[in-house]
Amino acid sequence: MIAQSGVSFVDQWLDSYWLVLIVKTLVVIGFFLVAPLGIGYMEHKVLAHMQARLGPMYAGRFHGWAQLLADGVKFIQKEDVIPAAADRWVFSLAPGVVLVPYIALFVVIPFSDEIFILNLDVGIFFVLAVTSVSVIGTLMAGWASANKFSLIGALRAAAQLIAYELPLVLAAAAVVMQAATLSMVGIVEAQQQYWFVVTQPIGFGIFVVAALAELTRPPFDMPVADSEIIFGALTEYTGLKFAFFLLAEYGGIVALSAVASVLYLGGYQPAPFLDAIPEPLWMAAKIGGLSFVIIWLRATYPRMREDQLQRISWLTLIPLALFQVLAVGFLKVAF
């Protein structure tokens, strides 16, 4: 049966509630400040190689290693322009509303059966609830900008979330059925014999596609389609506020790659015959691998049209996901 180890490494090591709380909070914040930057760096380099771009390859001489630092310095020095017509407060709050949910999400991501922050018994439910908060920030940004392009972009973002939240949730539900637990650690422990991508390859596909759409990453980047609506909800943003939207996007890539790894790729479980490599490295490798695929897709596929995007979700992904829920149900009871 599933080994439910409820005690994290930090809890074994420290016994004061407040001390544990502070250490855990710092770890989460620290992870959030490092991991998305790593993904941002990866995006620079991977896209530069795939599209033969020279831009990101200059700063700091060797392979453009200082490009990310240069970007950071540039963003913080830029003038913060808030249009006169905009709703100042909502406009300024929006980047925070987009960013903070992704920070909270990392609380439940396990890196081994002892290295996790919190093993919530409703883990995956928490993840799904928290990820959908960000779109409110995008809507706030679009509406508060008082710009027509921003408004169109924000409405597209909301439409996209509405369409792709369901396949995501239903695919996750099928995993919960097989694992018989909602806890993230529990789901990983249930994959000791084989990863769920083996039994639910369709679910994995649905989850990754829906996650891409939820992140508004290409080929699902209609809400920021630069050839028709400038930059969607982010059109009026400059400087650090704009950078925070980008940080949220990269944070989202890390977060949803981590969730997909936990649900389908066995989380921190090592691949067969390779269990000499420590568990946290496996988790990091799976997150990195999935993030690479997400970036790769950006260089490969053209943007989809809004109506195609809705059709795919409502007429393909959702019926498939519903069918899978029932199929997993019958098979699980039968065997």
By CB under 8 A, what part of segment 95-114 binds another protein? 95-96, 99-100, 103-104, 106-107
Are the beta carbons of 75 and 239 closer than 8 angstroms?
Answer: yes
Q: What single letter denotes the amino acid at residue 245?
A: F
Span 287-316, contacts to another protein by CB under 8 A = 306-307, 310-311, 314-315
329 lies in the binding site for another protein (CB under 8 A): yes
192 versus 308: smaller Cβ distance to another protein:
308
Both structure tokens of 53: 């771009």
Helix axes 67-77, 239-264, angle to 10 degrees: 130
Looking only at residues 176 through 235 of this chain, which bind another protein when binding is defined by CB under 8 A? 176-177, 180-182, 230, 235
Length of the chain: 335
Q: Which stretch binds another protein (CB under 8 A): 49-57, 195-203, 205-213, 326-334?
A: 326-334
CB of 229 to another protein, least distance (A): 11
Indicate the residue among 163 and 283 with the shorter CB distance to another protein: 163
Q: How far apart are CA 258 and CA 267, in angstroms?
A: 8
Contact flag: residue 333 with another protein (CB under 8 A): yes
| Residue 234 beta carbon to another protein: minimum distance, rounded to whole angstroms | 11
Q: Which of residues 142-181 bind another protein (CB under 8 A)?
A: 143, 145-152, 155, 158-159, 162-163, 165-166, 169-170, 173-174, 176-177, 180-181
Q: Which is nearer to another protein, 164 or 282 (CB)?
A: 164
Q: Give the DSSP H or E segment for 25.
A: helix 17-50
Position 330 contacts another protein (CB under 8 A): yes
Closer to another protein by CB, 106 or 111: give it. 106
The two structure tokens encoding residue 226:
């630069």
Residues 313 and 164: beta-carbon distance below 8 Å: yes
Site for another protein in 29-48 (CB under 8 A): 29, 32
Least separation in angstroms between residue 38's CB and another protein is: 18
Among 219, 239, 280, 288, binds another protein (CB under 8 A): 239
Find the part of the chain contacting another protein (CB under 8 A) among 93-101, 197-205, 254-262, 282-290: 93-101
